[in-house]
Structure 1
Amino acid sequence: MADQELTLKIVLEKPPSGVDFGLQKGSGNKYKTIQIQRSSDKNVEFEFTITVKLNDGLPNFLGGFVQGPPTQRFIYIDIGTYAGQKDTTWSRRLKIPLMGISLNTIKELSTNNNKILEARVPGTGRDGGPNCATVKPFSGWHISTRAAQ
């Protein structure tokens, strides 16, 4: 299997209102937050692409949005001040793991351009603020149909 691009969609369900959320591109001091959205009474959604390369028969996820070592890759959602919001007390990041995406799933996506991988995660944490750290519970990534454009 050659390198392949995957379209991912992260849906933050019912995050607290008035907080900025954004997708982190890059890492360390050289990152930027894109697709910044202020939450209201709706879910917040991010859609983007990553690359997958086979590494000893296992998927290795690559690209500007991918963080972490090869066996523990994840996506960061920046929250509050990390997303550039000035008028907030929130400074958090939400870590969305990429584990559990199988070769069979990747092959299925390669045969249908109308399909994407979607993860739905709680937008609000136990403290009533934005969910942060590694998302729990995490129901994983599921194949979904791309919305009509």
Structure 2
Amino acid sequence: MNQELPIRIILESPPPGVDFGIQKGSGNNYETILKQRSGKEDLCFEFKISVKENQVSLPDFKGPYVHGPSSERFIYVDIGTAAGQFDSVWTRRLKIPLRDISAETIQQLLTDASLVLETKVPGTGKDGGPNCATVKPFPGWHLSPTGR
């Protein structure tokens, strides 16, 4: 049975003037949702993904925002032209891994509506542009209160 998990991704200090959003769908058939233009503040994306247990009782994340094989699921953040900002000099995507989330953490999240699964990742890369590729080092996911 699939159950929904609330997710919060915070992009810390992204370079200003660039559109960022969450990729829904894959291949050429995708759309960017929750689009935001960066300014002086961190960007925050809140949405839900599905989870179910697979044959070895491990969580398997599903849904239109989840990409990759079951052992390496991730979420894409579209950036610049990839997010529909056609006048941007940037065409990038950022991979947010869905790893190291325990069954206990998921159970706690499913039983307590005051919690959200959150990660904070750098919004700016080493080149000074928007962070892209797989987040490294990845700080992981933690439970956080729903109100910010």
* TM-score between the two structures when normalised by the length of structure 1: 0.96
Instruction: Provide, for residues 12-67 of structure 1, a one-character-per-residue CA deviation record: whole Å limited to 9, x for no partner.
Output: 00000000001000001111001110000000111010110000210000000000
Structure 1 vs Structure 2: percent identity of aligned residues? 60
Question: Residues of 2 paired with 1:29 and 1:3: CA distance?
Answer: 26
**Residues 1:54 and 2:53 aligned together:** yes
Instruction: Provide, for residues 113-143 of structure 1, a one-character-per-residue CA deviation record: whole Å limited to 9, x for no partner.
Output: 0100001000000000000000011110000
Q: Tell me the equivalent position of 1:21.
A: 20
Q: CA deviation at 1:3?
A: 2.7
Q: CA deviation at 1:86?
A: 1.6
Q: Tell me the equivalent position of 1:86.
A: 86
Q: CA deviation at 1:4?
A: 1.7
Question: Residues of 2 paired with 1:137 and 1:45: CA distance?
Answer: 19
**Superposition RMSD in Å:** 0.9
- In structure 2, runs of 5+ residues without a counterpart are none
Question: Residues of 2 paired with 1:13 and 1:117: CA distance?
Answer: 17
**Residues 1:70 and 2:90 aligned together:** no
Task: Flag as ranges the 4+ runs of structure 1 deviating above 4 A.
Answer: none
Q: Tell me the equivalent position of 2:127.
A: 127
Aligned with 1:105: secondary structure?
Answer: helix
Instruction: Provide, for residues 63-99 of structure 1, a one-character-per-residue CA deviation record: whole Å limited to 9, x for no partner.
Output: 0000000000000000000000022110000000001
Q: Tell me the equivalent position of 1:113.
A: 113
- In structure 1, runs of 5+ residues without a counterpart are none
Question: Residues of 2 paired with 1:43 and 1:34: CA distance?
Answer: 17
* TM-score between the two structures when normalised by the length of structure 2: 0.97
